Amino acid sequence: MEKPKVKEKGIPFNLEKEIEYADSSVVSKTLLNSLAGTVTLFSFDAGQGLSEHTAPFDAMVYLLDGEARITIGGNPQKVSSGEMLIMPASVPHALFAEKPFKMLLAMIRGKQE
């Protein structure tokens, strides 16, 4: 399996322009992948999402564009461009795009408090 290509370090770039929308699809692009964690860009076309799942570590979501419905532990939240939330470790969560949206996801591996 090919290791994902990551961004060149030390070179500025625009997050929102780094990933495009695709019809009826979810697109992801890994920016950083290390033993400490991952940073990934996503774009979701309207009607697309990620089904309920859990992660072993807290994950930070920052919306770059659009609007998402993020359900954490059965509690839906509307998250809009410029807003951020933290999805707690081991709590089921799901994402859905009622409108297209782009997000930055950062997951830091390590000891949970």
**Quick one: pLDDT at residue 63?**
97
**Quick one: pLDDT at residue 29?**
95
Enclosing domain of residue 53: 25-108
* Residue 99: partners with Cβ closer than 8 Å, 6 or more residues away: 46, 66, 67
**Quick one: pLDDT at residue 110?**
73
| 101 closest CA partner among 70, 63, 72, 74 | 63
Q: How many degrees, rounded to 5, is the angle at CA 73 between CA 68 and CA 78?
A: 20
Q: Could you tell me if residue 4 is inside a domain? A: no
**For the chain, how many structural domains are there in total?**
1
**Quick one: pLDDT at residue 108?**
86
Q: Could you tell me if residue 3 is inside a domain? A: no
Q: Could you tell me if residue 56 is inside a domain? A: yes
**Quick one: pLDDT at residue 105?**
97
CATH (domain of 62): 2.60.120.10
Q: Could you tell me if residue 9 is inside a domain? A: no
Q: Could you tell me if residue 77 is inside a domain? A: yes
pLDDT means per 10 residues in the chain (113 residues)?
66 91 96 92 97 94 97 97 96 96 92 58
Q: Could you tell me if residue 10 is inside a domain? A: no
Q: Could you tell me if residue 17 is inside a domain? A: no
**Quick one: pLDDT at residue 9?**
81
